[in-house]
Amino acid sequence: MKYGLSVITTIHDWLYSVMPEWLAGLVEMILIAMVYLGIFSVAGLFLVLLERRVAAWFQLRIGPNRVGFQGLLQTMADALKLLSKELTGTQKADKFLYNLAPYFVIITSLMALAVIPFTAEFHAFDINIGVFFLIAISSIGVIGILLGGWSSNNKYALIGAMRSGVQTISYELSIGLSLLTMILLTGTLQLSEIIEVQKSGWLIVQGHIPAVIAFMIYMIAGTAETNRAPFDLVEAESELGAGFHTEYSGMKFAYFFLAEFINMFIIAAIATTVFFGGWLSPFGITESIPWLGVLWFLIKTLLLVFLMMWFRWTFPRLRVDQLLTLEWKYLLPINLVNIVIMALLIWGNLIIKF
Amino acid sequence: MGYFSNIYNGIKTLLTGMSVTGKYFLHSRKGAITQQYPDNRDTLKMFDRFRGEVIMPHDENNEHRCTGCQKCEIACPNGTIEIIWDRGIDETTGRKKKKIDQFIYHLSMCTMCGLCIDVCPTDAIEWGQNFENSVYDRTALTRVLNLPGSKLQPGVED
């Protein structure tokens, strides 16, 4: 990472030497955004491939293994196909909102990526309200879903979108509160400082029982937030066609699809940062080689992504009433009690620190 | 206490389900049921009850078991089977006797219902495992099942 960092500083210095300061700042922001866009649209495609292979293995199948070595280029080919497809739409759709919706979804999920610390240096936007920003951004995405469902002028799309609204409003609470439980431990919302705190033990170890409960609640609510099975009643193939994106085709559909997978990655990345020490290696075994942080971060994140895929291919879909019962009668009260327990633990200094 | 036992049971059953799929995940390498068909063409073996096509097995003396009773032709719902029969002189008794000339099977019309095979009193026809039936000329799908020069196996009618 040291070499990579020197390249970045060279570009930075060069930009500021040839342009006025405001323009250089702007160009730099655009460049960084482009890099993130490039990396994560490809990473999203590979997540789709991973999902398909993992799903196949869960169902005793083999999965796509024809395009490229072990099917590595399969989703690339799919994306190219989707790019070249015609963009159709319903005749009575609200054209403006209909075209706007996919961008809402994809932009919010890419915005959330900016604050995630991949390693100490690879961290685009380290604001002091990191966790708060993530929670806020991740709930904007649902506006895109609602817009898409509403403007499609299709009853299935509308039902799907409304379900998504219900789901996100409910589970947003659980995500926020479970992260708040961990914020009690760290005392800061800034993601880089949250990782600093974990140098004396990952938060899931520091906070032991309430942290494990908070992690379980976070994973359940996070799965709901990404609209994946068992909480996929937004899309619910068997009931609603494809839910809110029934009427979308081509690249607009691909945006929704990609956003779902990037959201899954974000949820796993937040969990990695807040519960599992982010880019810190277990027991500090590779502390002397800082660029390995990216590797550790990706390993932990992909393990959590795998956990979410495991959920998806094991559990049946919930009904709407079950969904709301789970949130309002179980997760929310447990979460509130959990925060009190965590506060008491910190007050009594019962947390585990190495 | 129903509330907490609900939570306990919920988590327990979810973990049970995850352990089942987890086992599948770990065994998927060996136990995959997907056949990578054109690649494993040489080793691919279809299962016993697979309905590929109707065949008439012949033994080493080029003898089949079809007496020409035409029960299969009557049983067939869509006229897939056509038996062209003849009366020939039976060598042992010297009397005139019914025998098949051509057992015609239109694969293009067959729905693989299996009624002909169920109804055959002498088990002359059975299911074949071949499924690579695509041809460029549909006349190739009309087949004569009894081999040329074949005759009835002795002792079938007893």
CA distances (Å), origin B5, targets A89, A338, B9, B56: 49, 18, 6, 64
What integer is the mean pLDDT of B138-158?
84
Measured distance CA(B103)–CA(B75) in Å, rounded: 15
A59, A66, A212, A332, best to mutate vs chain B, most B CBs in 10 Å: A59
The Cα–Cα gap between B10 and A185 comes to 29
Residue among A208, A187, A184 nearest A196 (CA): A187
Tens of pLDDT along A183-229? 888 888 888 888 888 888 788 878 788 888 889 999 988 888 888 87
Q: What is the pLDDT of residue A1?
A: 41
Our measurement of the distance from residue A16's CA atom to the centroid of its chain's CA atoms, rounded to an integer in Å, reads 33
Q: Is residue B45 part of a domain?
A: no
Determine the distance in angstroms separating the CA of B17 from the nearest CA of chain A, rounded to an integer. Answer: 6
- Cβ separation of A62 and B21 shorter than 8 Å? no
> Is B61 within the bounds of a domain?
yes
Closest CA to B6 of A329, A309, A97: A329
Residues of B in contact with A61 (CB under 8 A): 28, 32-34
Q: Which residue in chain B has the smallest CA separation from A59?
A: B24
The secondary structure of residue B106, as a DSSP letter, is: E
CB neighbour list of residue A216: distance below 8 Å, 6 or more residues apart: none
Residues 6+ apart with CB under 8 A from A46: A72, A75
Domain co-membership, B112 together with B144: yes
Say if A54 is an interface residue toward chain B (CB within 8 Å). Answer: yes
Q: What is the ipTM of this complex?
A: 0.75
pLDDT value for A13 = 78
- Assess whether pLDDT exceeds 50 at residue A134: yes
- On whether residue B19 sits in a domain, the answer given is yes
Model confidence pLDDT, tens digit, residues A245-267: 788 887 888 888 888 888 888 88
Please give the residue that has the higher pLDDT: either A311 or B91. Answer: A311
Mean pLDDT confidence for A266-272: 89
Is B158 a domain residue? Answer: no
Contact B25 A310 (CB under 8 A): yes
B148: domain CATH number is 3.30.70.3270
* Inter-chain CB pairs, A–B, below 8 Å: 42
State how far the Cα of A346 lies from the Cα of A183, in Å rounded to an integer: 11
Among the partner-chain residues B7, B24, B29, the one whose CB lies closest to the CB of A58 is B24
Write the secondary structure of A105-173 as one string of H (helix), E (strand) and C (coil): HHHHHHHHHCCCCCCCCCCCCCCCCHHHHHHHHHCCHHHHHHHHHHHCCCHHHHHHHHHHHHHHHHHHH
Q: What pLDDT was estimated at residue B12?
A: 92
Same domain for B16 and B88?
no
**Residue B147 confidence (pLDDT):** 87
Average pLDDT score over residue span A232-252:
78
pLDDT value of residue A139: 79
Query: From the CA of B29, how many Å to the nearest CA of chain A?
Result: 8
| Residues B148, B78 share a domain | yes
Answer yes or no: do B18 and A314 touch at CB < 8 A.
yes
Instruction: Say if A58 is an interface residue toward chain B (CB within 8 Å).
Output: yes
The per-residue pLDDT of chain B, averaged, comes to 86
Interface test with A, best of B9, B15, B28 (most A CBs within 10 A): B28
Tell me the HSE value of B102 on the side-chain side, using a 13 A CA sphere.
Answer: 8
The residue range of the domain holding B13 is 1-34
Which pLDDT band holds residue A2 (cuts at 50, 70, 90)? very low
Are the beta carbons of B24 and A330 separated by less than 8 Å?
Answer: no
**For the residues A80-96, what does the mean pLDDT come to?**
82
Are residues B136 and B62 both part of a single domain? yes
User: Which residue is associated with the tokens 């709930």?
Assistant: A139
User: Is residue B41 one of the residues assigned to a domain?
Assistant: no
- pLDDT band (50, 70, 90) for residue B38: confident
Determine the pLDDT at residue B1.
Answer: 66
| Residue B76 within a domain | yes
For chain B, which residues lie within 8 Å of any Cβ of chain A, measuring from their own Cβ? 6-7, 14, 17-18, 20-22, 24-25, 27-29, 31-34, 36
Rounded-to-integer distance, Cα A214 and Cα A334, Å: 9
Do B71 and B2 lie in one domain? The reply is no
**What is the mean pLDDT of the segment spanning A20-34?**
82
Q: How far is B43 from chain A (nearest CA, A)?
A: 18
With CB atoms and an 8 Å threshold, state whether B21 touches A314: yes
State the Cα–Cα distance between residues A346 and A330, nearest whole angstrom: 24
Q: How far apart are CA A28 and CA A35, in angstroms?
A: 11
d(CA B107, CA B132): 12
Q: What is the count of structural domains for chain B? A: 2
Beta bridge partners of B96: B89
Say what the pLDDT of residue A4 is: 54
| Tokens, residue B124 | 């002359």
Whole-number percent of chain A with pLDDT over 90: 2
* Spans of all domains in chain A: 1-84, 90-347
Question: Which of A247, A86, A317 lies closest to A256 in space, CA to CA?
Answer: A247
How many of the other CB atoms lie within 10 Å of CB of B27?
12
Q: Chain A contacts of B31, Cβ < 8 Å?
A: 60
Q: Do A58 and B27 count as a contact with CB atoms less than 8 A apart?
A: no
Chain B residues close to A212, C-beta within 8 Å: none
pLDDT tens readout for residues B97-108:
888 888 999 998
Query: Is B42 inside a domain boundary?
Result: no
B47: in domain: no
The stretch B91-119 carries a mean pLDDT of 87
Are the Cβ atoms of A61 and B31 closer than 8 angstroms?
no
- Entry pTM: 0.81
* Position B31 confidence tier, pLDDT thresholds 50, 70, 90: low
Distance CA A2, CA A120 (A): 11
Q: In whole angstroms, give the CA distance from residue A15 to residue A28.
A: 8
Distance from CA of A56 to the nearest CA of B (A): 8
